[in-house]
Structure 1
């Protein structure tokens, strides 16, 4: 049973064909700091696509060509190990200790997800980028919004965003970061479209309320969930009980990041 936005969806007969099984295997491969896993980022991109203005959607097609917005959300993870983009490795996360705000925290000299996002947004708004530079900045921005909404990408500075917290997930070795970016989402066995359809049960008032603030506010929102995230059993064996108790947070953050991706794109390209 998948409880989403006060509605209940019962997935039935979700028997994936061979290609889906191969894709699921790939998605489950470890990646210690990728924000949402690929499926999570895909979901944020599909949510965003459904909330673009026609003019903004036309610009997205111009920028990305035949690549969908959903697929473009994972580009920043795909290139992070390439020499040309190694400098972006620290742009996926930010450290804000408990009781502090972003402005009070000690900042990484190589940049962080908040600082890099603000810089890339300014570059996009300048209108001075080449087509290639615009495409790269655009793909970084839509990815970083997702990262800021994955609560463990706003870390305390003590455990690498939960990567150092070794746990068992349904009897398999994992870590707390991976549980939040991938394991809980993948445990439902839903496709990106099925997940997005189930999540997009929102009223206009909620949508309007969530289209507020900026990256520093979104990072501070992620900090609110730390007590729930780190409420772990002594044996560190996590499964259905932990997922069902916390999945509303995953749902909310996926929705908020998707809506805010659309909001940012519409602000830059929608008028």
Structure 2
């Protein structure tokens, strides 16, 4: 049973020019859930964590270089541990704006990626796994890029290994808090094939949403990123939204990280890309409702699964 949440305090062409303008107006591409989404995942996970695992998570985060900033109440919360845990959820995306970008991780002899959570690089390829989806809605084997699956396999080993330094484990923890959320965003697990190649998980597909208060036109990927709520959602309002989502969502099967990815890939096929057709695409009420229900369930599932996983990784006896 979830624990109670803290009580709130209450060739130049017109098409090319259009795409360029949309790019400038839209959020950065391929950031998975926006800041609100990742904070909601972390807030829900925090409430489901075993108290001992919660304490160990905070102990490790104290070794992260960003602990002073995270614990200083920048989330609008008085609890420094909760504040840091929630702030850590967006750190991996912040790196993509401030740190060197390595879009392709170095590989071992067997072709698998080499992941170092504490090397200070942005590692854009850790955030997604592009499994091909054709125009008929069929998922193909293999990938067209991304190492999210390998990140979810290797980073837990660092976190669970007491022989690793607390600094490396703190970085691994911050990465995992973020990447579990990424694994539940359907458009971070597939890319739809088209005659020119693929649409980069919906980043190359422009949609029109007449109900949007600001961006009636943007990429499908950016539109899905914003389903959790406004990116500035923080503090008590964030906790209230997290509690409501958690209470309204039925029990979530835990499953394995690979199964989380497969689940998200099926949701991309059956919800995110379903019946979109070709551009120009206008989203109707039925699509918006189905997408919102899916995003809400995925945010809660990510939070609950993250908590169960961290319990196992941090409470090794």
TM-score, structure 2 length as denominator? 0.67
Residue of structure 1 in register with 2:29 after alignment: 32
Moved more, 59-68 or 116-125: 59-68
Q: Distance in 1 between matches of 2:173 and 2:52?
A: 16
Residue of structure 2 in register with 1:75 after alignment: 91
Q: Distance in 1 between matches of 2:143 and 2:26?
A: 32
Contact between 2:129 and 2:190, CA under 8 Å: does it hold in 1? yes
Residue of structure 2 in register with 1:218 after alignment: 260
Q: Which ranges of structure 1 fall in alignment gaps of 5 or more residues?
A: 1-13, 15-27
Residue of structure 1 in register with 2:191 after alignment: 156
Q: Distance in 1 between matches of 2:285 and 2:36?
A: 19
Deviations 1:135-190 (A, max 9, x none): 11111111111001000000136211100011123262211001111156339x89
Residue of structure 2 in register with 1:115 after alignment: 150
Q: Which is helix-richer, 1 or 2? A: 1
- Residue 193 of structure 1 deviates from its aligned partner by 1.8
Q: Distance in 2 between matches of 1:132 and 1:222?
A: 31
Contact between 1:48 and 1:259, CA under 8 Å: does it hold in 2? yes
1:93 and 2:136 aligned: no
Q: Distance in 2 between matches of 1:179 and 1:166?
A: 10
Name the larger-Rg structure.
2
1:180 and 2:224 aligned: yes
Moved more, 236-245 or 155-164: 236-245
Q: Quick one: higher RCO (CA 8 Å, sep 6+), 1 or 2?
A: 1
Residue of structure 1 in register with 2:57 after alignment: 60
- Residue 106 of structure 1 deviates from its aligned partner by 4.1
Residue of structure 1 in register with 2:294 after alignment: 249
- Residue 94 of structure 1 deviates from its aligned partner by 0.3
Structure-2 change in CA distance of 1:49 and 1:269 (3 Å): same
* RMSD (CA atoms): 2.7
Residue of structure 1 in register with 2:105 after alignment: none
Q: How many residues align?
A: 236
Q: Distance in 2 between matches of 1:263 and 1:200?
A: 15
Q: Distance in 2 between matches of 1:239 and 1:127?
A: 51
1:196 and 2:193 aligned: no
- Residue 85 of structure 1 deviates from its aligned partner by 3.9
- Residue 202 of structure 1 deviates from its aligned partner by 5.6
Moved more, 217-226 or 154-163: 154-163
Contact between 1:54 and 1:270, CA under 8 Å: does it hold in 2? no
Which residue of the other structure, out of 103, 113, 127, is the alignment partner of 2:162? 127
Residue of structure 2 in register with 1:7 after alignment: none
- Residue 121 of structure 1 deviates from its aligned partner by 0.7
Which residue of the other structure, out of 141, 163, 166, is the alignment partner of 2:206? 166
Structure-2 change in CA distance of 1:176 and 1:100 (3 Å): closer
SS state at 2:31 partner: coil
Q: Distance in 2 between matches of 1:71 and 1:33?
A: 19
Contact between 1:184 and 1:243, CA under 8 Å: does it hold in 2? no
Deviations 1:27-81 (A, max 9, x none): x961211111100000000000000111001111112233522211111111134
